[in-house]
Amino acid sequence: MRDMFRAIRRIVEEFTDVKVIYPVHLNPQVRKIADEEFGGCERIHLIEPLDVVEFHNLMKASYLIMTDSGGIQEEAPALGKPVLVMRDTTERPEGVEAGTLKLAGTKVDDIYRECRRLLTEPEIYRRMSEARNPYGDGTASIKIRKILENIDV
């Protein structure tokens, strides 16, 4: 966690137009480390965890998403946001193959480098944000409704 947080702080310190909003996990150890690593940085905002709708709205308003969460790896590509996965492996390789996810690893320099690329190389950002979402096109409920409307009871 410290390496992940240090990479994020390094980005914020280098790019004066970058702000970070981090809904801090309820685990007391995570909160302690977040306070230690992010304390005193005005452009890193530690907030309480959000409900799903608020969190999706926050992701939609974001430029990019950095996570170690599996669920977010599936949700964020539907919003057209590049996702840096702060892990060495993922159980969602189809997102990496499709180009919506990028494994950034867990080391400071690796996370920093991948985030910096998205902030400074528009073509890389564009490719990730426009990649085909391997988890669906967001129209499942419409398709289900049409199927149900055509069922004779």
Contact 112, 15 (CB under 8 A): no
pLDDT reported for residue 152? 82
Chain segment 137-149, per-residue pLDDT in tens: 778 889 999 999 9
pLDDT reported for residue 137? 77
pLDDT reported for residue 139? 85
Chain segment 77-128, per-residue pLDDT in tens: 889 999 999 999 999 999 999 999 999 999 999 999 999 999 999 999 999 9
- pTM for this prediction: 0.87
